[in-house]
Amino acid sequence: MSQYEELIRQRNLLDQQIKEIKERERAAAIETIKNLIEAHDLKVEDVFSKKSSTVGKKVPAKYLNPENGETWTGRGKAPVWIAGKEREAFLIK
């Protein structure tokens, strides 16, 4: 067996060992988490917040209608004044 083939065999063995250890540690972590949840009567909402960091925050306008000063953030449905047109011409600089 060449040195290259031996190294490939060793790598495959290591990959298998890594996979097995990772699975064991994952199972142990899940068990620990379950025990903590039960001990402290936690709910999903207590651990994982559903609030988005962008909720309630204003987004600055990205486009400007030069005729009347109306603006658009670029989110949602495009207003009539920009729909179907080259948007670069309306960019706020």
**What is the reported pTM?**
0.48
pLDDT in tens, 24-61: 999 999 999 999 999 999 998 888 877 666 667 888 99
Mean pLDDT over 70-83 rounds to 93
Query: What integer best gives the mean pLDDT of the chain?
Result: 92
Closest listed residue to residue 93, CA positions, set 66, 69, 50, 63: 63
